[in-house]
């Protein structure tokens, strides 16, 4: 008899792949878009009802927030890969231990982040050169946001566990409900209560409590391998070690990428608050394209992990090719579509023509060739799914992050303009794709040779 949970799950190890990849990825894309709507609602409401300084304040925090939380979010990738590996190999006890370790770890990480955010927000924003007319509002937004970190971590780890078995629909439903609450409270706190940036930060936290609570409830009521028992919450050292081995390099990669983005944000800050506001609005639109492509990366990660756990390497190669084709289509259609309708889309965030002009400069260099970023990430997903996380981290840091930082201190200094600054993105993506492809071919050969050896 088919349980309710089984109706949400996907058999990734048997049968045709394309349809299952689409069924997995599309709800995940919509989930990513809904998560972005939390921040978009913040930006639109403050841009329309508070002013350009408030818009710049909220937007200028995103790269710093990502820097501070990416290491911890990376551990959820380790959780996803580990659950999928054990699930594909039908190891029920290992799945259960990984689930309980992951949930407890997520709460510990979220609690630690509260203190990191409260104490580091102001000094780090100052270090980034955030203008004085923006600094106090940006600091307030970040501090309120970080108070909600435990529930944000619980949602991310819980959703990673459900994704590992193909369930991308329930996280979507939970985010939809939370997103509606977020938008309604944004409008009420800002327009009716006149709370400014605090009025958009607080609803983000409250809505995340809803989505996290629903994820935990789903795991507690699960009738299969994933069932969560609060009394069994425990850190299992072996599972934690493997989670860290896979997830920490991914998190460090994200954090160091964020350092390059913080440097770029600091360079943007030097052009003034109007340029900052344009970059903020454009960056938010880019996020919708990126999250759609990131859904294909997550698909590659989960499908590869399960099939690797089941020893089906022939399907791993097919998964990579299908996901690469898929992400190219998504990147080209959404990225170029965003730029084509850029003026209208930026107009949602602001009516200031100068802000819109600055936003269009950024979109030309990032949205149009954005499929390159997606191609790079899908290759990383395949390698991480096979348990190789350090190699893609090192390649990404050298190829994308290192080159970008070098660009800021050389080419950008020689030809100081926003065009030259933004050009660092597509150049670094193209070089890193070539390096990742070589690494994937070497790793695949190594894994297949190991699998042919007698036990």
Q: Look-up: residue for tokens 């997103």?
A: 179
- What is the CA 166 to chain-centroid distance, rounded? 18
Q: Would you call 452 exposed, middle or buried from its count of C-beta atoms within 10 A (0-12, 13-18, 19+)?
A: exposed
| CA-only gyration radius of the chain, Å | 21
Where is 424: in which H helix or E strand?
Answer: helix 418-452
What pLDDT digit, counting tens, does each position of 192-207 carry?
Answer: 888 888 888 898 899 8
When pLDDT is cut at 50, 70 and 90, the band that residue 5 belongs to is low
Cα–Cα nearest to 243, from 94, 130, 378, 399: 94
Is the separation of the CB atoms in 79 and 163 below 8 Å?
A: no
Number of folded domains in the chain? 1
Tell whether the model's pLDDT for residue 381 goes beyond 70: yes
Q: Is 358 exposed, middle or buried (0-12, 13-18, 19+ CB in 10 A)?
A: buried
Q: In this structure, is residue 10 part of a structural domain?
A: no
Residue 22, Cα to own-chain centre: how many angstroms? 19
Mean of the pLDDT values across residues 288-309? 88
**pLDDT at 326 exceeding the cut of 90:** yes
In a domain, 305, yes or no: yes
Does the pLDDT value for residue 1 go beyond 50? Answer: no
Task: State mean pLDDT over 2-9.
Answer: 61
**Token pair in block for residue 225:** 């391998």
CA 358 vs CA 43, 142, 267, 277: distances in Å: 16, 25, 14, 8
Nearest to 79 by CA among 280, 291, 240, 265: 240
* Distance of alpha carbon 296 from alpha carbon 313, whole angstroms: 19
Give the DSSP H/E element, type plus range, for residue 191.
none
Could you tell me if residue 4 is inside a domain?
no
What digits encode the pLDDT tens for the residues 208-257? 899 999 999 999 988 877 888 888 888 999 999 988 888 888 777 777 76
pLDDT tens digits along 107-157:
998 999 999 888 888 888 888 777 777 788 888 888 998 999 999 999 989
CA dihedral sign of residues 197, 200, 204, 207: positive
Q: Examine residue 297 and state whether it is found in any structural domain, yes or no.
A: yes
Residue 9 lies in a domain: no
Helix then strand count (H, E) for the chain reads 19, 0
Domain limits at 167? 16-448
Between 455 and 4, where is the model more confident? 4
Query: What tokens does 126 get?
Result: 């100052």
- Asked if residue 399 belongs to a domain, the reply is yes
Angle at 65 between CA 431 and CA 129, to 5 degrees: 85
In a domain? residue 301 = yes
Question: 301: helix, coil or strand?
Answer: helix
Under 8 Å between Cβ of 265 and 17: no
Phi and psi for 307 in degrees, rounded to 5? -70, -30
User: Is 40 inside a domain boundary?
Assistant: yes
Instruction: Record the pTM.
Output: 0.79
């Amino acid at each position: 008899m088919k349980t309710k949970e089984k109706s949400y799950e996907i058999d990734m190890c048997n049968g045709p792949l394309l349809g299952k990849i689409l069924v997995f990825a599309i709800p995940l894309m919509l989930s990513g878009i809904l998560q972005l709507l939390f921040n978009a609602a913040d930006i639109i409401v403050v841009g329309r009802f508070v002013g350009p300084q408030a818009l710049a304040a909220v937007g200028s925090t995103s790269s710093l927030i990502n820097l501070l939380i990416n290491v911890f979010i990376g551990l959820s990738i380790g959780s996803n890969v580990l659950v999928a590996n054990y699930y594909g190999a039908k190891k029920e006890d290992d799945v259960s231990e990984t689930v309980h370790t992951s949930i407890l770890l997520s709460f510990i990480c979220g609690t630690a982040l509260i203190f990191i955010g409260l104490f580091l927000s102001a000094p780090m924003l100052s270090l980034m050169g955030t203008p004085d007319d923006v600094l106090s509002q940006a600091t307030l937004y970040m501090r309120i946001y970080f108070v909600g970190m435990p529930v944000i971590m619980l949602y991310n780890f819980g959703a990673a566990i459900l994704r590992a078995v193909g369930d991308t629909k329930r996280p979507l439903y939970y985010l939809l409900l939370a997103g509606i609450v977020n938008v309604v409270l944004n409008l009420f706190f800002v327009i009716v209560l006149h709370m400014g940036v605090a009025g958009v930060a607080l609803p983000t936290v409250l809505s995340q409590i809803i989505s996290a609570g629903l994820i935990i409830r789903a795991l507690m009521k699960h009738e299969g391998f994933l069932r969560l028992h609060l009394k069994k919450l425990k850190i299992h050292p072996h599972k934690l070690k493997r989670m860290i081995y896979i997830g920490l390099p991914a998190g460090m990669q994200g954090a160091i990428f964020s350092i390059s983005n913080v440097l770029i944000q600091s360079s943007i800050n030097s052009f003034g608050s109007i340029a900052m506001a344009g970059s903020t609005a454009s960056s938010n639109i880019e996020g919708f394209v990126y999250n759609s492509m990131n859904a294909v990366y997550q698909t590659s990660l989960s499908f590869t992990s399960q099939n690797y756990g089941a020893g089906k390497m022939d399907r791993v190669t097919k998964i990579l090719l299908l996901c690469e084709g898929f992400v190219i289509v998504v990147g080209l259609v959404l990225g170029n579509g965003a730029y084509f309708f850029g003026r209208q889309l930026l107009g949602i965030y602001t009516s200031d023509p100068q802000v819109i002009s600055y936003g269009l400069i950024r979109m030309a260099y990032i949205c149009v060739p954005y499929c390159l970023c997606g191609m790079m990430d899908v290759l990383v997903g395949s390698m991480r799914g096979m348990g190789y996380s350090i190699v893609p981290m090192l390649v990404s840091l050298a190829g994308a992050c290192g080159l970008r930082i070098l660009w800021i201190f050389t080419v950008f200094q020689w030809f100081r303009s926003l065009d030259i600054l933004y050009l660092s993105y597509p150049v670094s993506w193209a070089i890193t794709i070539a390096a990742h492809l070589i690494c994937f071919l070497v790793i695949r050969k190594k894994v297949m040779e190991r699998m042919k050896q007698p036990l």
